[in-house]
Amino acid sequence: MKLVTYLQNGEEYVGLLEGGAVRPLPCPDMNTLIEHGDLAGIAARAGAETPLKAVTLLAPIPRPRQDVICLGMNYKAHLAEAAGYDAEAFAKEKPVAVYFSKRVTEAVPPEGLIQSHPGLVERLDYEAELAVILGRTARNVRAAEAGEYIFGYTIVNDVSARDVQTGHKQWYFGKSLDGFTPMGPCIVTAEELPFPPALDISARVNGEVRQEANTAWLINSIGEVLEELTAGMTLLPGTVIATGTPAGVGMGFDPPKFLKSGDVVECEIEGIGVLRNTVE
């Protein structure tokens, strides 16, 4: 099933996305729905259909309860292009996962604006990523059992200020500015996709294809990541894990192709949809 959060007549709803219509669910928000654990029971009480064009989609989890957990340089070709841009800032021992977190006050909705932060940011970049959403409390998870902990998947654009990121020699600030986490357009629940997911992923800027890959090419798999993280920390239902971006980000070109005001970024993942946003 596909789940969305949307606005209708000024009210926020969680709903089922079915074709060109949404049906409201009896749940106050997506975090509560995830924690409830009985998705089938709640879905059975879905309300009447409303045409999708009559509502405004929000990010599926507009206000994540915790920072998004992110994987850095988790595709081989992106690892190479990052090192080519700044070898010191993007150094990595290949087998070791690079983790960082991304502060999200409010996720940017589909069709929403990516804030450009003039005066602070000069090198604005995009990163199309498959995001995993946990549905259960996870501690000491074995990689082979990781699929049992996943609620669903969505798309995240890990917008990045490269000058802030490399200038501070850490990634938190340059990844966490307001308007830097577009998410959506929906959550596809785990049973709809095979595990581990092998999905085509791409990004376009003003119609130009910049990124093309498949989520099967991750260096550190979803199962390996969950096993490693939960060996030392408890991950709660609703946790969002962005699994990394493929090659083709703006900093990887010569010369770099950073975003500018008015640019339209489309991140697409097979089976999930297209996340489309415009730079303010």
Q: Which residues does residue 69 pair with via DSSP β-bridges, in sequence order?
A: 101, 241
Give the pLDDT confidence of 42-78 residue by residue, as tens digits. 999 999 999 999 999 999 999 999 999 999 999 987 6
Contact status, residue 48 vs residue 77, Cβ threshold 8 Å: no
In this predicted structure, the answer to whether residue 198 has a pLDDT above a threshold of 70 is yes
Task: Compute the distance between CA of residue 190 and CA of residue 270 in angstroms, rounded to an integer.
Answer: 14
Instruction: Give the pLDDT score at 85.
Output: 64
| Exposure b/e, 124-155, CB count within 10 A at least 16 = b | bbbbbbbbbbbbbebeebeeeebbebbbbbbb
Q: Which residues does residue 204 pair with via DSSP β-bridges, in sequence order?
A: 209, 266
Contact status, residue 266 vs residue 169, Cβ threshold 8 Å: no
Instruction: Give the pLDDT score at 84.
Output: 64
Neighbouring CB atoms inside 10 A of 217's CB total: 16
Instruction: Give the pLDDT score at 49.
Output: 97
Which tokens go with 163?
Answer: 């000058």
Which tokens go with 178?
Answer: 């307001």
Closest CA to 58 of 22, 26, 34, 32: 22
Contact status, residue 108 vs residue 183, Cβ threshold 8 Å: yes
In this predicted structure, the answer to whether residue 119 has a pLDDT above a threshold of 80 is yes
Assign 255 a pLDDT band (cuts: 50, 70, 90). Answer: very high
Give the pLDDT confidence of 175-184 residue by residue, as tens digits. 999 999 999 9
Which tokens go with 125?
Answer: 């970049």
Closest CA to 114 of 250, 259, 246: 259
Q: What are phi and psi of 171, to 5 degrees?
A: -105, -15
Task: Compute the distance between CA of residue 193 and CA of residue 1 in angstroms, rounded to an integer.
Answer: 10
pTM of the model: 0.94
Contact status, residue 156 vs residue 240, Cβ threshold 8 Å: yes
Task: Compute the distance between CA of residue 249 and CA of residue 252 in angstroms, rounded to an integer.
Answer: 6
Q: Are strands 183-189 and 160-161 parallel, antiparallel or unpaired?
A: unpaired
Q: What's the start-to-end Cα distance of the chain, in Å?
A: 32
Say if residue 50 is exposed, middle or buried (CB neighbours under 10 Å; 0-12, 13-18, 19+): middle
Instruction: Give the pLDDT score at 78.
Output: 60
Residue 255: asked if its preceding bond is cis (omega within 30°), the reply is: yes
